[in-house]
Structure 1
Amino acid sequence: MTNKQLYPELPLLMVDDEPAWLHSMALSLKVSAGINNVIRCSDSREAMRLLQQQSCCLALIDLNMPYVNGEQLLTQIRESYPDIAVIIISGMNQIETAIRCVKAGAEDFYIKTDERERVVSGIMRTLKQIELQRQNRELAERLLQREEVEHPAFARFHTCSGKMHRIFSYLRAIARGYEPVLITGESGTGKELVARSLHQLRCPEKPWIAVNVAGLDDMVFSDTLFGHVKGAFTSADQARKGMIEEAADGILFLDEIGDLAPASQVKLLRLLQEGEYYPLGSDKPRRVRARILFATNQKLKDKVDQGAFRKDLYYRLCAHLIDIPPLRERKEDLPVLMTALVAEAAESFSCAPPLIQQPLLDLLTSYDFPGNVRELRAMVFDAVGRHQDGELSCARFEEVILPAQDVTPASCDLDATMARGTATIRFGPELPTIKQATQALVNEALQRTAGNQSKAAKALGITPQALNKRLKTTE
């Protein structure tokens, strides 16, 4: 943490009549947990005045103090500032008093003679709970207000999808926290874009470090993340910072986390549990000062069930889970995506953006896009690069979509079967009229394509507009 970046966001108030203990405890919090936003108070009569002047998230109170003791101060704080968490510290192991304090609303009770690390861990645990509660409140408020999310962090997303806007609201609610974030979704849905959005929301001026961990063996993973000291191994002729240190006060993004080797999973688990790491060859731990985001296109829960991914690590990663919907589940985004992608492609090719006609949008709507937005972008760039006139042709898109759907215009099939003398069209004793035959053919095409007019038109060898016109005339 730097002096400019205080943690926690709201200060922690420490009240104790021993200034030396206040000083040593504040130093332990700073060194061990990065907590540098602390107010010290050695006179319990001043505590309530300080809380009036400055909002705090947590009060750490000594039990045995002159003037106002810890129990009395706990009662005053719970009555006047119920949102402030309180932890009681005592010089003696007073079980009955501890029970009374917890019943009165204290989050926890610690003995001064306890190991300092145990007390610090308890304070950190309470701060994380406070942070999660704040995020839940903010998220509930945003959802209740149905807030439209407009922020520069989401400028690269072209969407009108309610699912995506709920994700944006969630990102804004959790941006200030320190818990890990797991981003899941199929390949091409934009997982790194979501991670970059969180970076823009949280600390745009701080480092952004991205590492793809797929294929890294344990040694390379450890050296990449944790770095090493001089002499750590044969070729380590000088010290090197790991990516965690490079990302200090910013964001570390670990992609393809589902491919992490088992030995590396153990090291990552310890990193998340303890908040510290050891550079290779060093016996001095260093604190994590970056927020860590993870992404995968794999179903980690299935890998856990198969024994290929540690269950304890999975639950550590899932402090916040963001699952990005595939493009087939938000096809309402196709018009805005096409407009943006065609404009981007036209700028790349230094040409005027071609027009997007409704038949093309109908064709795209009939396709499920297994490669998601990445696949659509590749198709658009190819089509814009090939186009000859002012309208974007369907031809390039048909080359991908029609074979995938196994739909060939019926006129082609009929020509081929007639040429071979194998056509299967049969008639009864009385011939149908042209109108009856046409209507029967249209009905059959719509039935075979589950009512999809774009697919039916292709199967009939006519345009969607022509099919639509025929349907209207029969209504």
Structure 2
Amino acid sequence: MIQPVTLHPSFQVLLVDDEPAWLRSLSLTLERAGISNIASCQDSRKVLPLLEKGQVGLILLDLTMPGYSGEELLEIISERYPDIMVIIISGMNELDTAVRCIKKGAVDYFVKTDMQEHITKGVLRAISSHEMKLVAKGMGQRLLSNKLEHPEAFDEIITCSNSMFSLFKYMESVAISSQPVLVTGESGVGKELVARAIHTLSERRGKRISLNVAGLDTTSFSDTLFGHHRGAFTGAHSTRPGLIEQARGGSLFLDEIGDLDLQSQVKLLRLLQEGEYFPLGSDRPKNAQTRIIAATHQDLQKKVQEGRFRKDLYYRLCIHNVHIPPLRERKGDIPLLLDKFLQNAATEMGKKKPTVPPELLTHLKNYSFPGNIRELQGMVYDAVSTHKSHVLSMQSFLQAMHADAELHTEDSTEPPEPFAQFEDLPSIAECTVMLIKEAMKRADDNQTLASRMLGISQPALSKRLKQLKD
């Protein structure tokens, strides 16, 4: 089965020149660099009607042509279509002409005798710049809008959080870019689900390939990503394409990027900078038509300061940064996630979905969830696996939360100071009032649950609440 081709970039690159041979040569050069969304025009009088279709984002324009000259077209395009970028590629190497064209709005000027590699890099720079403008424009429009354009792309992400909704709008804006995306957040927040959504939104027709780079040495990383030729090393009995080739026209998700060793970081940096790579055993570069999405739970800025992560690679990766907030900062998602996981667990285990005791949600909302969504999912599956009665038992949840609280107490070298905010220490009576109010707040006014938090009986708490009211 032939893999459908993903056009790159998302906008059209229009080549305008009256020389058919030069058009063919330039088209082939750009295609080898991974630029596939190309249109050609030999008649300068047909350029403006083509621009009216709204598909062109970049024009490579010759100066000397019958009909409209290149300079005349440049002036008209700059006036009517200021968002379209124009690069002049002329047969004349004249400084005055180049300066005049730049003043009229051209973003670059090349001579046809320049090395093709030099011209290609200029075109790639222009494409990257235009993509960033489109992203910025899209973000502005989405911030003013109160709805998502493609809500179906986020079906796997269960949330009602406003912060996540804002994140979705940002993801819709950056999806069209071919630049890398860095997904950050604590372990268990759902970084791979976000990577899937970005790939879906990009409408890339190639595959989304995932690789956890933690533990890969330099050789394994190179072989896995770039592939090898037959005879490249002992045991290489046949040519094998790497993941970059398998994800051609799609996305490559590199998880745990913070664990990548420094030598492998250099190789990944070159891939991002040059857009090309060398399979092991080959001296001919291959073009990478793959969008890189990386993810980590680590603080990469701190690793940069410590010299354990390259600064230039960090800035390359985080051109677009999606930071997922932890579950403790979006506790409104807990009921939705709990319901979803209960249904999934019951279905997988062939059981009826159990009823949730009301106090369970209060306990969960007062828990910090260091393992985030993955931890909640584990709790639910464990509880359903031992579930027998109509109402779900809270015992396994309470045991898991208690065990985690003890673990964090043991690990904590500096326990928090509860009275640090007070200049003068409160009295015992004042402390009692504050404790009772905080317990009732955390328990959503459930006296039974609040009394458990305080370690007193429910009647004793009821008596103290009555005294507070009096």
TM-score after normalising by structure 2: 0.87
Q: What is the CA-CA distance between 1:403 and the residue it aligns to?
A: 4.9
Bigger mean CA deviation after superposition, 332-341 or 192-201: 192-201
**Is 1:332 aligned to residue 338 of structure 2?**
no
2:5–2:206 contact (8 Å) kept in structure 1 = no
Aligned to 1:250: 250
Aligned to 1:228: 228
Q: What is the CA-CA distance between 1:183 and the residue it aligns to?
A: 0.7
Aligned to 1:289: 289
Q: What is the CA-CA distance between 1:400 and the residue it aligns to?
A: 2.4
Aligned to 2:453: 459
Please list every run of 5 or more consecutive structure 1 residues that lacks an aligned counterpart in the other structure.
407-438
Q: What is the CA-CA distance between 1:151 and the residue it aligns to?
A: 2.7
Counterpart residue identity of residue 98, structure 2: A
2:18–2:42 contact (8 Å) kept in structure 1 = yes
Aligned to 2:86: 86
Cα separation, 2, equivalents of 1:152 and 1:109: 43
C-alpha distance 440-84 of structure 1, shift in aligned 2 (>3 A): closer
Cα separation, 2, equivalents of 1:372 and 1:3: 38
Cα separation, 1, equivalents of 2:159 and 2:442: 24
Cα separation, 1, equivalents of 2:234 and 2:130: 46
Q: What is the CA-CA distance between 1:349 and the residue it aligns to?
A: 2.0
**Is 1:268 aligned to residue 262 of structure 2?**
no
Q: What is the CA-CA distance between 1:12 and the residue it aligns to?
A: 1.5
Aligned to 1:7: 8
2:16–2:61 contact (8 Å) kept in structure 1 = yes
Q: Secondary structure of 2:52's match?
A: helix
**Is 1:24 aligned to residue 29 of structure 2?**
no
**Which whole-Å deviations, capped at 9, do the CAs of 1:79-111 have from their partners, x for residues lacking one?**
222221111122222222222221221111112
Counterpart residue identity of residue 98, structure 1: A
Counterpart residue identity of residue 442, structure 2: N
2:181–2:317 contact (8 Å) kept in structure 1 = yes
Matches within 5 A, 1:63-142: 63-142=63-142
**Which whole-Å deviations, capped at 9, do the CAs of 1:156-181 have from their partners, x for residues lacking one?**
21110111112221222222221111
Q: What is the CA-CA distance between 1:358 and the residue it aligns to?
A: 2.7
Aligned to 1:58: 58
C-alpha distance 100-4 of structure 1, shift in aligned 2 (>3 A): same
Cα separation, 1, equivalents of 2:77 and 2:285: 37
Counterpart residue identity of residue 285, structure 2: P
Please list every run of 5 or more consecutive structure 2 residues that lacks an aligned counterpart in the other structure.
407-428
Cα separation, 1, equivalents of 2:190 and 2:331: 15
2:383–2:396 contact (8 Å) kept in structure 1 = yes
1:446–1:452 contact (8 Å) kept in structure 2 = no
Q: What is the CA-CA distance between 1:219 and the residue it aligns to?
A: 0.7
C-alpha distance 204-355 of structure 1, shift in aligned 2 (>3 A): farther
Cα separation, 2, equivalents of 1:391 and 1:257: 43
C-alpha distance 265-206 of structure 1, shift in aligned 2 (>3 A): same
**Which whole-Å deviations, capped at 9, do the CAs of 1:217-276 have from their partners, x for residues lacking one?**
111111111111011012111111111111111221111111111111111100010001
Bigger mean CA deviation after superposition, 219-228 or 172-181: 172-181
Matches within 5 A, 1:345-364: 345-364=345-364
Counterpart residue identity of residue 136, structure 1: A
Q: What is the CA-CA distance between 1:3 and the residue it aligns to?
A: 6.9
2:3–2:206 contact (8 Å) kept in structure 1 = no
Cα separation, 1, equivalents of 2:161 and 2:459: 27
1:181–1:293 contact (8 Å) kept in structure 2 = yes
Aligned to 2:307: 307
Cα separation, 2, equivalents of 1:444 and 1:97: 78
**Is 1:446 aligned to residue 446 of structure 2?**
no
Cα separation, 2, equivalents of 1:98 and 1:150: 43
Q: What is the CA-CA distance between 1:38 and the residue it aligns to?
A: 2.1
Cα separation, 2, equivalents of 1:46 and 1:275: 33
Q: Secondary structure of 1:244's match?
A: helix
Bigger mean CA deviation after superposition, 298-307 or 248-257: 248-257
Q: Secondary structure of 2:56's match?
A: coil
Q: Secondary structure of 2:59's match?
A: strand
RMSD: 2.7
Q: Secondary structure of 1:57's match?
A: strand
Cα separation, 2, equivalents of 1:72 and 1:65: 10
Cα separation, 2, equivalents of 1:27 and 1:110: 17
C-alpha distance 148-76 of structure 1, shift in aligned 2 (>3 A): closer
Aligned to 1:40: 40
Q: What is the CA-CA distance between 1:123 and the residue it aligns to?
A: 0.8
Matches within 5 A, 1:281-430: 281-405=281-405
Aligned to 1:426: none
Cα separation, 1, equivalents of 2:112 and 2:463: 84
C-alpha distance 386-200 of structure 1, shift in aligned 2 (>3 A): same
Cα separation, 1, equivalents of 2:5 and 2:81: 27
**Which whole-Å deviations, capped at 9, do the CAs of 1:136-194 have from their partners, x for residues lacking one?**
21222112112146633212211101111122212222222211111111110111111
Cα separation, 2, equivalents of 1:152 and 1:373: 21
Q: What is the CA-CA distance between 1:470 and the residue it aligns to?
A: 6.8
C-alpha distance 309-445 of structure 1, shift in aligned 2 (>3 A): same
**Which whole-Å deviations, capped at 9, do the CAs of 1:26-80 have from their partners, x for residues lacking one?**
111111x222222222232222233235631111111233332221110111122
C-alpha distance 249-458 of structure 1, shift in aligned 2 (>3 A): same
Aligned to 1:173: 173
Cα separation, 2, equivalents of 1:268 and 1:380: 39
Bigger mean CA deviation after superposition, 335-344 or 271-280: 335-344
Cα separation, 2, equivalents of 1:83 and 1:334: 44
Counterpart residue identity of residue 23, structure 1: R
C-alpha distance 106-353 of structure 1, shift in aligned 2 (>3 A): same
Bigger mean CA deviation after superposition, 234-243 or 451-460: 451-460
1:207–1:249 contact (8 Å) kept in structure 2 = yes
C-alpha distance 358-468 of structure 1, shift in aligned 2 (>3 A): farther
Indicate the percent of aligned positions where both proteins have the same amino acid: 48
Cα separation, 2, equivalents of 1:272 and 1:464: 63
From the CA coordinates, give the structure whose radius of gyration is larger: 1
**Which whole-Å deviations, capped at 9, do the CAs of 1:285-325 have from their partners, x for residues lacking one?**
11112211111111111000110000011111011111111
Cα separation, 2, equivalents of 1:223 and 1:283: 15
C-alpha distance 91-192 of structure 1, shift in aligned 2 (>3 A): same
**Is 1:200 aligned to residue 200 of structure 2?**
yes
Cα separation, 2, equivalents of 1:397 and 1:388: 15
